[in-house]
Amino acid sequence: MANLETEFCGVKFRNPLVVSSIEPTNSVDKLKRCIDAGAGGAIVKTLTDIPDMHKLSKHSKYAILNNKGRLIRGVIPRSFSFYARSGYSSDPYEEWIPHLKEAQAHAEGSGAQIIGSVGAKSMEGWRDICRAVEDCGIKLVELNFGCPHPAMMPGVRGGSMIGQDPEMAAEVTAWVADAVDIPVIIKMTPDQSRPIEVARAVKDAGASAVTLTNRYTGFAVDIETGKPYIGGPAGVGGPWIKPLSLRWVHEIHSKLGIPIAGSNGIFDARDAIEFIMSGATLMQIGSVLMLKGIEYLSEVVDGMSTLLDEYGYPDLPSIHGLASRQAATSYQAHFEAKPVRAAIDQEKCKFPKCENCIRSCFHEALSGDNGTVVTLEENCLGCELCYSVCPHNAIEMVDKAA
């Protein structure tokens, strides 16, 4: 079996799959269950001094939507959307202190780690809660600059509001990095247009790593009632969001080289491997556990070793950033790529019963003639759309010169 041991910011994890800060990490017993189910670690539900964020968790609402945007009842498909409004930890952070110590001792006994998560309303709050986490023997702390909800609470400066502003993000990061000795991870928001700037600002301010990313803020509508689901805007995500998360993992990994914890879109082991190949070292898994149960964790962890074995990789470092390094760095590389063209296998082609390829060719390279599909080579760009829409496996892309 491939070796899954991981080091992140100098801290060792038996495997790179940690449970993100979410409902399944909102008590000491739940944290222990995550570890017992095979997680490499678990991030406590965000500790806070914002009273409305405690309150919000006690008024949590979740709507699980299908790919048509309608409520799911029963079996959850891979394409689900998790549309949810939830706050931070439901208990004041001071009450967590003995629990964090207990959870960390339990995790360390299994080669795993508990990670702190903090979201405060004032500079003093950020400092005091992070120090409390450190005093419990926790080895890493994540600052939640990604939560959509504090930004929607009048008078509260927190969550994604900080994560959208490089200066504010750097100010809080520097303050906390100065106040504690453990590595500080910044959990970023995808609800913004300047993630590279924010990541650079927090790196320069002393962050040891970034988490990419928390969830987007969305608005989902039930057309039967004419109302938004769960009463209004909420955090939204699901496995379909993964390419958007991977884009930032790849860009920030290749441009800044800062250690990355990947989050937002992991459903199974294959997704976790994609995050690693894009440049993440730790992977955070969250909402899927609320739907499939904590025990599902072991399936994902085991699946990662199985995939590594299947593709012949000995360990995680051998795939870290692999896809990121092989991404084109300029459009020139695309312009210079070897030209290919579509070649039709007339034996397999079902024209004129099927015309999918002709219908999707907007470069006038494919047409029907005398009962067969013919290719006008000079018009074929090798774009591969016909290859994707052919249901009969009758199209191959071949060297244009051939």
Ligand X SMILES: Cc1cc2nc3c(=O)[nH]c(=O)nc-3n(C[C@H](O)[C@H](O)[C@H](O)COP(=O)(O)O)c2cc1C
Query: Interface with ligand X by CB under 6 A: which residues?
Result: 20-23, 45-46, 82, 84, 86, 88, 117, 144, 147, 187, 214-215, 235, 237, 263-266, 284-288
**Rounded to 5°, angle at Cα 223 from 221 and 226:** 80
Per the CB < 8 A criterion, the answer to whether 121 and 158 are in contact is yes
Q: Name every residue whose Cβ is closer than 8 Å to that of residue 143 and which is 6 or more positions away in sequence.
A: 117, 118, 119, 126, 130, 172, 173, 176, 184, 185, 186, 187
User: What are the structure tokens assigned to 3, written together?
Assistant: 């070796």
| Minimum CB–partner distance for residue 53 and ligand X (Å) | 8
Closer to ligand X by CB, 64 or 258: give it: 64
Closer to ligand X by CB, 239 or 321: give it: 239
Closer to ligand X by CB, 15 or 264: give it: 264
Residue 361 known to be catalytic? no
| Minimum CB–partner distance for residue 238 and ligand X (Å) | 7
Q: How many CB atoms lie within 10 A of CB 332?
A: 9
Q: How many CB atoms lie within 10 A of CB 188?
A: 30
| Minimum CB–partner distance for residue 48 and ligand X (Å) | 8
**What are the φ and ψ backbone dihedral angles of 128, each rounded to 5 degrees?**
-65, -40
Closer to ligand X by CB, 17 or 344: give it: 17
What is the DSSP track for 234-270? EEEE-GGGHHHHHHHHHHHHHHH---EEE-S---SHH
| Minimum CB–partner distance for residue 82 and ligand X (Å) | 5
Gap between the Cα atoms of 186 and 175, Å rounded: 13
Q: Which position among 147, 349, 380, 390 bears the catalytic label?
A: 147
| Minimum CB–partner distance for residue 164 and ligand X (Å) | 15
Closer to ligand X by CB, 2 or 272: give it: 272
**Rounded to 5°, angle at Cα 93 from 261 and 156:** 80
Per the CB < 8 A criterion, the answer to whether 21 and 144 are in contact is yes
- Residues that are catalytic: 147
